[in-house]
Structure 1
Amino acid sequence: MFLDVLRRRNPAFIEAAIRLHQEGRIPTNAYVLDLDAVEENARHFRAAADRHNLKVFAMTKQVGRNSGFCKAVMRGGIDRAVAVDMACAVACNRAGLKTGHLGHLVQVPRHEAPMAASHLAPDYWTVFSREKAQEAAQAAKRAGRTQSLLARIHTQKDTFYRGHEGGFPAEEIAEVAAMMDALDGAQFAGLTTFPALLYDQEKKKVLPTHNLTTLARAAEALAKAGRSGIEVNAPGTTSSIVLDILAEAGATQCEPGNGLHGTTPLHAIEDLPEQPAVLYLSEVSHLHQQRAYCFGGGLYIDPVFPDYDVQAIVSDTPTVAQNAMASVEIPPPSAIDYYGMIDTTGSAKPKPGDSVVFGFRGQAFVTRAFTVGVSGISKGDPRVETIENPFGVVQDWPELR
């Protein structure tokens, strides 16, 4: 879905990835990142958020919490991360990107709360229940801190992905705020939900969900009760062009993830300010009955679009040419993606050892793929900065010695 955008808007990135792979400098089964483009995207996003007076927390899970990505985001002016889970927070913190928001989407496990409070010390900590609020408060007290808590709220007609449910009834937010303020070691700071915005496949637009209205109404109720300085965290399908929607709804925080590497659904159909900055790289392993089999491990497509003809560039030399394109069948989500199967009946004639470049809206942290940060592409001097596993841990690769 994103390969056409990559070919048109960042062809030097594709060519650099193929060249580096053919030289043995980056591994097969890797999400490769154009760190120059990430830095510029972050800089643009930071400026747009500042115009709307929005705090920005970068989501890094989609690119495997790669430390090079974290540092590029920081160079672009974003100095805080939102951690989808504890592993995410630890990886970002290790890279120098401090934890701005923890506990959303995944709550902090009970016995990991002390480490979260003392080692990570998040600016904001989301809780879904009284018990989780108490755990956060107790851990913060032991760490000598007062933790700012965000309440995840919900009401009828709100949207949640299956398995993401949880939180406080929005109608009880005044009581919830008072409960949090009464905890020794914590204080109520504001509200959150997910998703606040979603891509509408029929209208080809990013639109507010009912959840965003729920946040606005709850914040208004708190203001009428005399509370001020309420934080409103409103993540979901966040690119720089949707920030006016969030600001008008009263949001104070935004959390770009795919927006920082140019792979929100809207990036696939419109040229937004953010440049495409991630691709997935594989290699042809062998041929069998008019199919070329390429290595898998990261063949995960975030299911925001209906099924489509997955294509890849297959070549042993740097190119973005149309005649190097081929259709690829990838295993269904219920299967292990050992290989993808490339059609060999078209103009592309794959052979073992060829590089295979996909344009995915991925989720590297749920795969077994490497993540590779490459700098210098914008200057014509690509350099591999780091090769890491999906937990942001640097891998020993001979070419980096």
Structure 2
Amino acid sequence: MFLDVLRRRNPAFIEAAMALHQQGRIPANAYVLDLDAVEANARVIKAEADKHGLKTFAMTKQVGRASSFCAAVQRGGIDRAVAVDMACARATHKAGLKVGHLGHLQQVARHEAKAAADRFRPDYWTVFNDTKAEEAAAGAKAAGYVQNLLARIRAEGDTFYRGHEGGFDAADVAGVADRLDALEGGRFAGITTFPALLFDHASRKVLPTPNLATLTKAAEALAKAGRRDIEVNAPGTTSSVLLAALAEAGATQCEPGNGLHGTTALHVMEDLPELPAVLYLTEVSHLSGGKAYCFGGGFYIDPIFPDYDVKAIVGREPTVAASALRSVEVPPPSAIDYYAMIDAGGPAAPQPGDTAVFGFRGQAFVTRAFVVGVSGISKGAPKVETIENSFGETAAWPV
């Protein structure tokens, strides 16, 4: 679905990526980033967030925490990251972004808490229970500072992805705040959940989840208990056009991820201010049984839409023409994606060495794909800035 948007809104990006691949300058099995577009997107999001008084933390996991991506985000005015796990914290810190938020979605392991506090000193640290709060506070105390703690809260009827559950009972938020304040090295700073916003297939719009109402009620309870300046962290499906609604609901923080590269579900439905800035590129390996097999390794297609006919642009010459589109069978998530199978029927069948370009919302950090940052596309002078693995480390390529 995102390939249609890419072809229409950022065709020069597709053509540049195909040319660079054919020149042997970028590898197959790579998430490729248009760094100029990322920088422009970050600037749009930051300006809108500032207008509504929202703190902004960049999510980088979807594009493998690439260092050139982090640098482009910084040039766009966002200087802090949310670390979905400790690997994110290490990569974004190394790339020069301040760790603005740690511990959400994944909590920090017990024996990493002290090092995380000492090395990163995150602005905010989310905890799901008293034990995790104690570990974070102890780490901060040892490092000589007081850590701002965000309490992840939950209430009956809230929406969580399977495997994301956890948090304090929202009905006890005032007591939770008191307990976190009582910790040496820690202080209660606010509340969080995920997701606060979610794409709704029926209405084809982004709607608030019950979780957002839970945050609002909890903030009201805290205010009634005499607490002021409560941080409300409300991530999920973040584009610049949704920030006003978040602020109106009481949020004080936002965490754009897919919005920074134009791949939220809403970007398929509407032309939003953010341009599409990421594609997946690979190469035809061989033909068999009427199929052209292309190298895999990065086919984690984030299942935000029901199953659809996945297509790729396939060819040797840079193009966005509809005639270059071919249907592709991608292995199911239960299989290892060594290859995907491109329809090789009809005239001008794909050949080994052809470039294949896909547009889908990926999660590069759970794949074995390369991540490639390319600058200069908007000026007609594309330049490969980085070729890295999904941990933001320089990749050994071609050998």
TM-score when normalising by structure 1: 0.99
Return the alpha-carbon distance in structure 1 between the equivalents of residues 244 and 355 of structure 2: 41
Return the alpha-carbon distance in structure 2 between the equivalents of residues 300 and 320 of structure 1: 23
Is residue 46–residue 77 contact of structure 2 (8 Å, CA) maintained in 1? Answer: yes
Q: Name the counterpart of 2:275.
A: 275
Q: Name the counterpart of 2:360.
A: 360
- Equivalenced residues, count: 399
Q: Name the counterpart of 1:55.
A: 55
Is residue 323–residue 348 contact of structure 1 (8 Å, CA) maintained in 2? Answer: no
% of aligned pairs identical? 73
Specify the code of the residue in structure 2 equivalent to 1:135. Answer: E
Deviations 1:279-318 (A, max 9, x none): 0000000001110000000011101100000000001111
Q: Which runs of 4+ in 1 moved over 6 A?
A: none
Return the alpha-carbon distance in structure 1 between the equivalents of residues 25 and 125 of structure 2: 40
Is residue 312–residue 358 contact of structure 2 (8 Å, CA) maintained in 1? Answer: yes
Give the C-alpha shift of residue 347 in structure 1.
5.3
Is residue 27–residue 398 contact of structure 2 (8 Å, CA) maintained in 1? Answer: no
Is residue 296–residue 340 contact of structure 1 (8 Å, CA) maintained in 2? Answer: yes
Is residue 30–residue 282 contact of structure 2 (8 Å, CA) maintained in 1? Answer: yes
Q: Name the counterpart of 2:179.
A: 179
Q: What SS class does the counterpart of residue 206 from structure 1 fall into?
A: strand
Return the alpha-carbon distance in structure 2 between the equivalents of residues 325 and 110 of structure 1: 49
Pairing 1:337-348 to 2, within 5 Å after superposition = 337-346=337-346
Cα pair distance change 1:170/1:348, threshold 3 Å: farther
Q: Name the counterpart of 1:390.
A: 390
Give the C-alpha shift of residue 95 in structure 1.
0.3
Q: Name the counterpart of 1:157.
A: 157
Deviations 1:58-91 (A, max 9, x none): 0000000000000000000000000000000100
Pairing 1:1-400 to 2, within 5 Å after superposition = 1-346=1-346, 349-397=349-397
Q: What SS class does the counterpart of residue 303 from structure 2 fall into?
A: coil
Is residue 206–residue 237 contact of structure 1 (8 Å, CA) maintained in 2? Answer: yes
Deviations 1:181-226 (A, max 9, x none): 0000000000000000000001000000000000000001101111
Return the alpha-carbon distance in structure 2 between the equivalents of residues 113 and 160 of structure 1: 25
Specify the code of the residue in structure 1 equivalent to 2:332. Answer: P
Is residue 6–residue 14 contact of structure 2 (8 Å, CA) maintained in 1? Answer: yes
Q: What SS class does the counterpart of residue 216 from structure 1 fall into?
A: helix
Specify the code of the residue in structure 1 equivalent to 2:169. Answer: P
Is residue 19–residue 318 contact of structure 2 (8 Å, CA) maintained in 1? Answer: yes
Return the alpha-carbon distance in structure 2 between the equivalents of residues 162 and 264 of structure 1: 20
Cα pair distance change 1:293/1:398, threshold 3 Å: closer
Q: What SS class does the counterpart of residue 216 from structure 2 fall into?
A: helix
Return the alpha-carbon distance in structure 2 between the equivalents of residues 300 and 174 of structure 1: 41
Specify the code of the residue in structure 1 equivalent to 2:113. Answer: A
Give the C-alpha shift of residue 276 in structure 1.
0.1
Return the alpha-carbon distance in structure 2 between the equivalents of residues 71 and 288 of structure 1: 42
Return the alpha-carbon distance in structure 2 between the equivalents of residues 195 and 347 of structure 1: 46
Q: Which runs of 5+ in 2 are unaligned?
A: none
Specify the code of the residue in structure 2 equivalent to 1:295. Answer: F
Is residue 325–residue 347 contact of structure 1 (8 Å, CA) maintained in 2? Answer: no
Is residue 324–residue 348 contact of structure 1 (8 Å, CA) maintained in 2? Answer: no
Deviations 1:324-346 (A, max 9, x none): 10000000000000000000124
Return the alpha-carbon distance in structure 2 between the equivalents of residues 125 and 106 of structure 1: 11
Give the C-alpha shift of residue 395 in structure 1.
1.4
Q: What SS class does the counterpart of residue 275 from structure 1 fall into?
A: coil
Specify the code of the residue in structure 2 equivalent to 1:388. Answer: E
Q: What SS class does the counterpart of residue 53 from structure 2 fall into?
A: coil
Q: What SS class does the counterpart of residue 198 from structure 1 fall into?
A: strand
Q: What SS class does the counterpart of residue 259 from structure 1 fall into?
A: helix
Cα RMSD (Å) = 0.9
Return the alpha-carbon distance in structure 2 between the equivalents of residues 330 and 318 of structure 1: 23
Return the alpha-carbon distance in structure 1 between the equivalents of residues 397 and 25 of structure 2: 8
Specify the code of the residue in structure 2 equivalent to 1:91. Answer: A
Return the alpha-carbon distance in structure 2 between the equivalents of residues 241 and 347 of structure 1: 43
Q: Which runs of 5+ in 1 are unaligned?
A: none
Specify the code of the residue in structure 2 equivalent to 1:29. Answer: N
Return the alpha-carbon distance in structure 1 between the equivalents of residues 348 and 229 of structure 2: 58
Q: What SS class does the counterpart of residue 68 from structure 1 fall into?
A: helix
Is residue 35–residue 277 contact of structure 2 (8 Å, CA) maintained in 1? Answer: yes
Specify the code of the residue in structure 2 equivalent to 1:138. Answer: A
Specify the code of the residue in structure 1 equivalent to 2:74. Answer: M
Give the C-alpha shift of residue 396 in structure 1.
3.5
Is residue 46–residue 76 contact of structure 2 (8 Å, CA) maintained in 1? Answer: yes
Return the alpha-carbon distance in structure 2 between the equivalents of residues 348 and 262 of structure 1: 32
Specify the code of the residue in structure 1 equivalent to 2:194. Answer: F
Specify the code of the residue in structure 2 equivalent to 1:340. Answer: A
Specify the code of the residue in structure 2 equivalent to 1:345. Answer: G
Q: What SS class does the counterpart of residue 32 from structure 1 fall into?
A: strand
Return the alpha-carbon distance in structure 1 between the equivalents of residues 200 and 160 of structure 2: 15
